[in-house]
Structure 1
């Protein structure tokens, strides 16, 4: 067998790549915003394991050089199509990206929101310090954005 010969028709790999992308998008969305935020050592481990595990979902038992490229091309095309659809349908975009969550309002920490979003208090404290604030008392509004990043608006002095 040739290095470039496929064991299945090309569209199998394209379909598998697209379905794998969409399936992983749903799983990541169900995991919540924190999965998209700053990556810890645990997040890197999960990312590597997920990538290694999903390789066989895309290429099956095919060992050619061609199959992974077809799968990756399908993943990139699906990502482009999802982005295109999200710019045209706000409801789809809200479902895929989610909504921001208020973590601090007028200097008061919302412990329930922190628990719901799986954000430890220490992570909020680190983000406060990173943004040059000592405590949540310095904050008018802090949000966990859909991309997993925390944004802060300082109280006016």
Structure 2
């Protein structure tokens, strides 16, 4: 039973590896773009599972103790909490971490170049448009691809109620 708590390396190796893995994966996700996990498809779930399995070694190496895994996970949770704290206090840092929304439609016209740049296929855009209760983008004042990968729409009649149309 004592082998459950015998670490193969100093505890701070697991903590450091957890923090570095979190930051590295965050950078990779940012580079992958907004659409990576906006709509979780079967492919996205596979990527998550495979990334998690692959990164296990990066966090705990060859250690087989329970304690090493918990130290690694604890460091990830602390890093996540710290990053959230910093993002809420420094908007410029939050924009760096999350990114900015991308304008996909302005005044009823699709920006085809931006849709391509953001890797949003027409079929996915049309599904989001239909989910918002619209048949075509002609009734859209603005459509944004938000940093979380979701597409939001402002309808023409909604904009006039808020004084912007």
Unaligned runs of at least 5 residues, structure 1:
none
Structure 2 CA distance for aligned equivalents of residues 141 and 23 of structure 1: 33
Equivalences for residues 1-157 of structure 1 within 5 A: 2-156=3-157
Structure 2 CA distance for aligned equivalents of residues 85 and 91 of structure 1: 10
Over the aligned positions, Cα root-mean-square deviation in angstroms equals: 1.2
Count, aligned residues = 157
Q: TM-score, normalised by structure 1?
A: 0.96
Please state whether the residue corresponding to 2:157 is helix, strand or coil. Answer: coil
Q: What CA deviation, in whole Å up to 9, does each residue of 1:135-156 have, x standing for no partner?
A: 1112111100011111011112
Runs of 4+ in structure 1 over 4 Å off: none
Structure 1 CA distance for aligned equivalents of residues 148 and 154 of structure 2: 17
Please state whether the residue corresponding to 1:156 is helix, strand or coil. Answer: helix
Aligned to 2:161: none
Q: TM-score, normalised by structure 2?
A: 0.92
Unaligned runs of at least 5 residues, structure 2:
159-165
Deviation at 1:17, TM superposition (A): 0.2
Deviation at 1:4, TM superposition (A): 2.1
